[in-house]
C-alpha cells in the first residue's frame, strides 16, 4: 500500500509539472476572420473569406514556409487584402465578360495547370493550403480564362499598332533621353611655388618643352633635372591618367578640355585651391576625347518592342477594365460605401 501511495504521489508531481510547463508556454496565436460580403459582380459575391483564400494560394506559390506561421499570415493579410480585393473584382469582371462571350476552358487544361502548381500530390498540398479541390479547380479555371481573355481582348489588339514607325519614334526618344556624352582621357601637370609669378614663368617653359619635344608628364621631372631647368623653389606633380564622362567634370574644366584637340596642351592655368596656401599653375593634356557609342536601332529594337508592348498592355488593360466596370455597373464608391469605417477584416488572437 505504501508503494502504491509513492507511485500515485510521483504521478501527481509529474502531472503538476506538466500543468506548470503548459502554463509557462504561451498558447499558439491564430488569425481570426471578420467575414462579410465585400463586393458583388454580376451575381457573384466576393467575401473576406474569398480574399483570404486567394492570399493563401499566393502565399503557397511564393512563401509556403509562412502558411503555418499565424503572425506572418496576419501581416500578409493586413498589408495586401485591399489590393487583392481589387484584383478579385477585376478578375470577376473579366470572367463575367468571358461568360457573356461563351469563352471555353477545357477540364484537361485545368487539370494540367493544377498539377503544375501543386505537384503530383495535389490533394495533400491542397489540404496544406486549406483549399478544397473544387475551390482550387475554380481558381485555376478562372486563372486560365482570365489569361486567355486578356490575350484576345488586349494583346492581340495592340500587336498591329506596334509599327516600324512606332519603334523608330521610341528609338529616337530613347537616344535623346540618354543624353549621350563624350569621354575625356586627360592628365594635368601641377606647378607649385611660394612665388606665384615664378610658378607661372616656369610653367610657360615647361609647356613649350612638352609641346615641342613631346616629353611625357611622367618623364618631365627627370628631363628637367638633367637639363637643370627646374628652379629650387618650384615643385611639379604629374597627375594620374583620368577617364571621365563630361558630366563628371567640373563645368570650367569640362569647357576647357572639350575645347582642346586630342594630343594638345592647355595654356598654364592659374588656380586657387582650398588645400594650397598659394595659387598653383596647371597644364592640362588631352590624350583622347571619345564620343559615347550610340546603339543602333537594330540593337535596341527587341527591348523597345517589349517596352512599347508593356506600355500599351497597361493602357489597354485599364481601358478594358473601365469599360467592364461601366458595363456591369461597378465602382469603387459602391464597394466602400457598405463597409464600416476603419473596417479590419483580420485580427490576430
Pick the more confident residue, 221 or 335: 221
CA 203, CA 113: separation in Å to the nearest integer?
Answer: 78
The yes-or-no verdict on residue 200 having pLDDT over 90 is yes
What is the tens place of the pLDDT at every residue in 17-37? 433 444 444 567 888 999 998
Q: Which helix (H) or strand (E) holds 242?
A: strand 242-245
The yes-or-no verdict on residue 2 having pLDDT over 80 is no
Q: Residue 113: how many CB atoms within 10 A of its CB? A: 16
Are the C-beta atoms of 193 and 278 separated by less than 8 Å?
yes
Q: What is the mean pLDDT of residues 331-336?
A: 69
What is the tens place of the pLDDT at every residue in 109-143? 999 998 888 888 888 888 877 788 888 898 899 88
Identify the pLDDT of residue 17. Answer: 43
Q: For residue 93, which of 142, 144, 151, 154 has the smallest C-alpha distance?
A: 142
The fraction of the chain above a pLDDT of 90, given in percent, is: 46
Identify the pLDDT of residue 14. Answer: 41
Tell me which range, 17-21, 82-86, 214-218, is most confidently predicted by mean pLDDT: 82-86
| Grid coordinates of 211 | 609641346
Domains (ranges, CATH) in the chain? 31-159 (1.10.4030.10), 181-291 (3.10.50.40)
Angle between helices 164-178 and 297-328 (to 10 degrees): 110
What is the tens place of the pLDDT at every residue in 301-322? 999 999 999 999 999 999 999 9
Amino acid at each position: 500500500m505504501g508503494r502504491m501511495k509513492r507511485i500515485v504521489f510521483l504521478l501527481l508531481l509529474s502531472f503538476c509539472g506538466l500543468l506548470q510547463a503548459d502554463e509557462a508556454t504561451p498558447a499558439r496565436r491564430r488569425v481570426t476572420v471578420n467575414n462579410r460580403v465585400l463586393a458583388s459582380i454580376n451575381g457573384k459575391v466576393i467575401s473576406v473569406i474569398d480574399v483570404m483564400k486567394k492570399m493563401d494560394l499566393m502565399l503557397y506559390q511564393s512563401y509556403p514556409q509562412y502558411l503555418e506561421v499565424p503572425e506572418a499570415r496576419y501581416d500578409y493579410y493586413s498589408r495586401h487584402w485591399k489590393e487583392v480585393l481589387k484584383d478579385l473584382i477585376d478578375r470577376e469582371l473579366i470572367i463575367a465578360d468571358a461568360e457573356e462571350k461563351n469563352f471555353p476552358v477545357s477540364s484537361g487544361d485545368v487539370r494540367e495547370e493544377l498539377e503544375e502548381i501543386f505537384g503530383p500530390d495535389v490533394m495533400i498540398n491542397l489540404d496544406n493550403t486549406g483549399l478544397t479541390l473544387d475551390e482550387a479547380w475554380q481558381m485555376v479555371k478562372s486563372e486560365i480564362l482570365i489569361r486567355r481573355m486578356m490575350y484576345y481582348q488586349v494583346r492581340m489588339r495592340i500587336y498591329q499598332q506596334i509599327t516600324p514607325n512606332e519603334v523608330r519614334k521610341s528609338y529616337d526618344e530613347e537616344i535623346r533621353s540618354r543624353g549621350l556624352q563624350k569621354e575625356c582621357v586627360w592628365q594635368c601637370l601641377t606647378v607649385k611655388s611660394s612665388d606665384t609669378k615664378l610658378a607661372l614663368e616656369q610653367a610657360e617653359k615647361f609647356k613649350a618643352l612638352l609641346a615641342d619635344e613631346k616629353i611625357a608628364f611622367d618623364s618631365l621631372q627627370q628631363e628637367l633635372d638633367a637639363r637643370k631647368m627646374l628652379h629650387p623653389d618650384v615643385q611639379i606633380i604629374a597627375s594620374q591618367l583620368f577617364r571621365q564622362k563630361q558630366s563628371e567634370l567640373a563645368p570650367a574644366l569640362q569647357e576647357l578640355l572639350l575645347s582642346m584637340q586630342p594630343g594638345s596642351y592647355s595654356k598654364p592655368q592659374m588656380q586657387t585651391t582650398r588645400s594650397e596656401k598659394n595659387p598653383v599653375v596647371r597644364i592640362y593634356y588631352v590624350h583622347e576625347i571619345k564620343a559615347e557609342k550610340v546603339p543602333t536601332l537594330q540593337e535596341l529594337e527587341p527591348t523597345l518592342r517589349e517596352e512599347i508592348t508593356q506600355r500599351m498592355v497597361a493602357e489597354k488593360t485599364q481601358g478594358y477594365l473601365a469599360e467592364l466596370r461601366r458595363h456591369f455597373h461597378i465602382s469603387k464608391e459602391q464597394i466602400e460605401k457598405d463597409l464600416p469605417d476603419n473596417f479590419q477584416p483580420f485580427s490576430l488572437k
